[in-house]
Amino acid sequence: MKYGFIKVAAAIPQVKVADCRYNIVHIEEQMRYAENEGVKIIAFPEMSITAYTCGDLFGQQLLLEEAEKSLKTLLSHTASLQTIAIIGMPIAVNGSVINAAVVIHSGIIVGIVPKTYLPNYKEFYELRWFASANDIMENEISLCGQTVQMGTHLLFETPDTTFGIEICEDVWAPIPPSSYLSLQGAEIIVNLSATNECIGKHRYLCSILSQQSARCIAGYIYSSCGFGESTTDLVFAGNGLIYENGTLLSQNKRFDFEPQVVISEIDIERLRAERRMNTTFSANKGSIKDIQKAIRIKIDQNLESNFSLTRSFDRHPFVPSGPALDQRCEDIFAIQVSGLAQRLVHTHAKSAVVGISGGLDSTLALLVCVHTFDKLKLSRKGIIGITMPGFGTTGRTYNNAINLMKSLGITIREISIKAAVDQHFKDIDHDPSVHDVTYENSQARERTQILMDVANQTGGLVIGTGDLSELALGWATYNGDHMSMYAVNTSIPKTLVKHLVKWVAENDMDEESRITLLDIVDTPISPELIPADENGNIKQKTEDLVGPYELHDFFLYYFLRFGFRPAKIYMLAQRAFGNDYSAEIIKKWLYIFFRRFFNQQFKRSCLPDGPKVGTISISPRGDWRMPSDASSAAWLDEIEKL
């Protein structure tokens, strides 16, 4: 298992009804293909050795014997393989027949899991042929000359992961067997199924599998019968689906007439991190005290292969694509507005004071204020937008700030900070030609003082503009733009801020404001604390100094959301950004990200209030509680060795 990933597969083999010898030839082909691809676990459909649609033939002694003989042949032919296969077949047990999943590895039957819930409605009449696991007393049987453990409570432990098994209808139950298996340690659930196709059924099936994998915080491999099954009354389109904690990783093409093997990688490290952080999952373990304790079966798997990821990773994990982006922007903006509205109502604030720079963050904060005042039926004149030109202010950002405030109809105040900061430089004996951290931070703190004092003058609140990415990097002046009375952008990453501003511009703005907003979206990100160049253009570009925000947001997401180590984040970033950033560049900015993240924790330890909008927040009162003097040595050392 490299970087926590385990390669798995769902197979849809070619079958002939009741022709076991034919069927195992194709099962063996797919097992060998999976082994060559480095697959650790491959699942086959329900009754894959006989085919599912044998009907009353399941009661025939010859078919049962042929199934066992064919399994024995398959074991012999695949004894050299390390890939674990889960295969469906009927098995005679003490006067009954069970619908079983057989786990095989290197020519050995590792365990047998019988189906628990047998459908007996509409087109399915399994109770006519099979006994439920609940009605079987035996916990081991003899099959193919081997004595094998049997039960629904088996957990299979490999060096990389632990998996459990349920069969088809089991997952449709109110409490599927996989729920209990997951609480006892199964990180992957395998489902052998025979799902026929009906209008709308596939979408419903996918929703169930997605939800169950999410509830179990598990990987889920689903393999269902395809072409070759009897079409006397039903059609089986073949479903190969692989999920990870609610997310579909890979799926086959349905209604295909050729055999298929669907492959993907389940991130076991990610699942383990999710379970560690989800206290509800741990607490729910108490509900299984009276459930039969799982029996753990170890499988000494040693599959050596050149690991390769087939999964793709979104370079902008905070920013969905398509219609989902519009929905996310709408939800986030509504959360921001609702949060600010409650704070204004609670404090009886008479005004909202915002520093307007003409940049993205202050623009978003202003838009939140405008919509909040509109929703509270307050005059927009109660919003006091203050533009505070300094030594680095350019004509483009200044004009955008003024134009936007005018078109939105808020109260405009312009207060230059140049004279005050010059006086401050004299007071502290600082040479203004030295453009160091003192030069920059003096301007930021002067602006904050103005905002705070105007808020006091007008009985209002200072609305903070800093975003999640800036806070993660500590790209804020302590007690300068770092501080406010309510921070509406505090858990929104920089890569998403741009989309939010654009979304508001395109969905709920007058034409004049829209034009200004779209130009702001296109303006380079800058604190504008260093004088412009000889042409009046922005000279100080944030991403030239701290690195591309798309990289930092990627690092931030996988570090905080899943607790990934630098080496894994580095590998994922190479896969996501390989065409745009070299490995050396990614490593450079990864080092800077971790160095700054640890060193700047003291700024996050005293953040103002602000609404959480997504799965990641670094509020010291909730999601992220880290000592300000924690050492980054282990993380930086790993990066240096990459």
Q: What is the DSSP string of 540-590?
A: --HHHHH--HHHHHHHHHHHHHH---HHHHHHHHHHHHTTTS-HHHHHHHH
* Mean pLDDT lowest among 125-134, 284-293, 597-606: 284-293
Distance separating alpha carbons of residues 356 and 384, to the nearest angstrom: 10
* SS3 call for 130: coil
Q: What is the pLDDT of residue 526?
A: 67
Would residue 115 show up in a list of annotated catalytic residues for this protein? yes
pLDDT higher than threshold 80 for residue 31: yes
139 compared with 544, residue with greater pLDDT:
139
Would residue 166 show up in a list of annotated catalytic residues for this protein? no
Q: What is the pLDDT of residue 534?
A: 65
Q: What is the pLDDT of residue 527?
A: 62
pLDDT higher than threshold 90 for residue 535: no
CB 381 within 8 A of CB 443: no
Among residues 7, 35, 46, 603, the one annotated as catalytic is 46
For 438-480, the pLDDT digits (tens) are 999 999 999 999 999 999 999 999 999 999 999 999 999 999 9
Distance separating alpha carbons of residues 111 and 86, to the nearest angstrom: 10
3-state helix, strand, coil in the chain (%, to 5): 45, 20, 40
Q: What is the pLDDT of residue 140?
A: 92
Q: What is the mean pLDDT of residues 378-407?
A: 94
* Mean pLDDT lowest among 214-223, 328-337, 422-431, 516-525: 516-525
Residues whose CB falls within 8 Å of the CB of residue 501, separated by 6 or more in sequence, listed in order: 360, 363, 364, 367, 517, 520, 521
pLDDT higher than threshold 70 for residue 529: no
For 36-82, the pLDDT digits (tens) are 999 999 999 999 999 999 999 999 999 999 999 999 999 999 999 99
For 492-514, the pLDDT digits (tens) are 999 999 999 999 999 978 999 99
- SS3 per-residue string spanning 492-525: CCHHHHHHHHHHHHHHCCCHHHHHHHHHHHCCCC
* SS3 call for 341: helix
536 pLDDT band, cuts 50/70/90, is low
* Mean pLDDT lowest among 93-97, 379-383, 392-396, 577-581: 392-396
Among residues 54, 168, 225, 329, the one annotated as catalytic is 168
pLDDT higher than threshold 90 for residue 233: no
Distance separating alpha carbons of residues 415 and 446, to the nearest angstrom: 11
Distance separating alpha carbons of residues 615 and 625, to the nearest angstrom: 15
Token digits for 51? 């085919």
32 pLDDT band, cuts 50/70/90, is very high
Distance separating alpha carbons of residues 438 and 443, to the nearest angstrom: 9
CA neighbours closer than 13 Å in the CB half-sphere of residue 348: 0
Q: What is the mean pLDDT of residues 486-490?
A: 97
**Considering only CA atoms, which of 115, 135, 59, 123 is closest in space to residue 92?**
59
Domains delineated in the chain: 5-298 (3.60.110.10), 323-640 (3.40.50.620)
| Residue 141: how many other CB atoms lie within 10 Å | 20
Distance separating alpha carbons of residues 201 and 370, to the nearest angstrom: 45
Amino acid at 260: Q
**Considering only CA atoms, which of 411, 347, 348, 336 is closest in space to residue 380?**
411
pLDDT higher than threshold 80 for residue 171: yes
pLDDT higher than threshold 80 for residue 124: no
Token digits for 603? 């700024």
Average pLDDT over the chain, rounded to an integer: 93
**How far is residue 238 from each of residues 169, 424, 463, measured CA to CA in Å?**
16, 74, 55
pLDDT higher than threshold 70 for residue 163: yes
Q: What is the mean pLDDT of residues 146-154?
A: 95
In terms of C-beta distances under 8 Å and separation of at least 24 residues, what long-range contacts does 576-581 make, across chains too?
Answer: 576/312, 576/313, 576/314, 576/315, 577/315, 577/550, 577/551, 581/548, 581/551
Among residues 40, 115, 587, 603, the one annotated as catalytic is 115
Distance separating alpha carbons of residues 45 and 65, to the nearest angstrom: 20
Residues whose CB falls within 8 Å of the CB of residue 38, separated by 6 or more in sequence, listed in order: 7, 303, 305, 306, 307, 308
**How far is residue 482 from each of residues 86, 341, 441, measured CA to CA in Å?**
56, 22, 11
Would residue 550 show up in a list of annotated catalytic residues for this protein? no
545 compared with 378, residue with greater pLDDT:
378
Q: What is the DSSP string of 393-443?
A: --HHHHHHHHHHHHHHT-EEEE---HHHHHHHHHHHT--TT--SHHHHHHH
pLDDT higher than threshold 90 for residue 272: yes
Which phi and psi angles does 189 have, rounded to 5°? -110, 130
**How far is residue 488 from each of residues 165, 184, 297, 610, measured CA to CA in Å?**
46, 41, 52, 5
